[in-house]
Amino acid sequence: MPIIFPVLLVTGLIFWDNFSTAVLLFITSLVLIFIGRIKFTYIASMLGIGIVAASIAIVILFSLPQGQQGRVGTWKTRITNYVDVSKGDSYQVEQAKIAIATGGIVGKMPGNSTQRNFLPHPYSDFIFAIIIEEYGLIGGVIIVLLYLILLFRAVKIVTKAPGTFGSFLVIGVAFSLVFQAMINMGVAVDLLPTTGQPLPLVSMGGTSIWFTSLAIGIILSVSKEIDKKETDAPNLNIANVNE
């Protein structure tokens, strides 16, 4: 309960204003709890509570009049448009699909995008579609591989971290960054409903780049501590031999 209750409380408070961020934080917490070897029954119960609570909240919000929904109405519309195919794709998704379709294998080359003039927020939410249009399928695959390499390097750091706190910190931060990137790319290719999540280290933004830089700094801090201990270890062995 000391772990489950704060997670449900924080994600529940975020849920009303930013559905995608709440889901991102909740899944990251589940991954950390799983890595921490918490019993699967507890994880399943936490997941069940979260799904039930979210379902009840969504039903209540969908039943409210349009004028009383506030910012919740935004992600309600996005989910409705994504689920109900008869209403057609949103304008953003349509323009993103055009950008991806015209990119081909090698793309139109840097700076030659035409959809950036029609696609809303081509520098943040749908930057991945513009990347594919300019750099083609090859550029899109490289971006995906770079994020997977980031996650792989974080796992390598975790396996060498001297303490559990540093290990959980690194894997939690790295997973949240990579998972957010996958969500952004999934939205661009119409696998997920529009979320508004930026592409870490790529999308233009102020707050996003600040927190992404802080996250990378945390990972590098733990990595530096590992290097320091590995450097000190041979010196300690030499000192013991001399004694």
Domain boundaries, the chain: 1-86, 89-243
pTM listed for this prediction: 0.77
Give the mean pLDDT of the chain: 80
Coil, helix or strand at residue 174: helix
Contact 32, 168 (CB under 8 A): yes
pLDDT at 148: 93
Helix (DSSP H) and strand (DSSP E) numbers for the chain: 8, 0
* Model confidence at 240: pLDDT above 60: no
Which segment, 110-119, 144-153, 190-199, 205-214, is predicted with the most confidence on average? 144-153
Residue 141: pLDDT band (50, 70, 90) is very high
For residue 149, give every residue at least 6 positions away whose Cβ sits within 8 Å of its Cβ, in sequence order, or none: none
Q: Which of 37-46, 60-69, 96-105, 208-217 has the lowest mean pLDDT?
A: 60-69
In 3-state terms, the chain is what percent helix, strand and coil (to 5)?
A: 75, 0, 25
Res 24 pLDDT > 70 = yes
Q: Sorting pLDDT into bands at 50, 70 and 90, what band is 124?
A: confident
CB 180 within 8 A of CB 25: no
Residue 178 CB contacts under 8 Å (≥ 6 apart), including other chains = 147, 148, 150, 151
Residue 73: pLDDT band by 50, 70, 90 thresholds?
low
Percentage, residues of the chain above pLDDT 90: 10
pLDDT at 56: 80
Residue 242 binned pLDDT confidence (cut-offs 50, 70, 90): low
Q: In sequence order, which ranges of 84-201 are alpha helices (DSSP H)?
A: 91-103, 127-160, 164-188
Closest CA to 128 of 213, 201, 208, 216: 201
Residue 52 above 70 pLDDT?
yes
Q: Does the pLDDT value for residue 32 go beyond 90? A: no
- State residue 42's pLDDT score: 82
pLDDT, one tens digit per residue, over 143-187 is 999 999 999 999 888 888 777 888 888 998 999 899 999 988 888
Q: pLDDT for 78-121, tens place per residue?
A: 666 655 655 555 777 788 888 888 888 888 888 888 888 888 77
Q: How far apart are CA 75 and CA 19, in angstroms?
A: 7
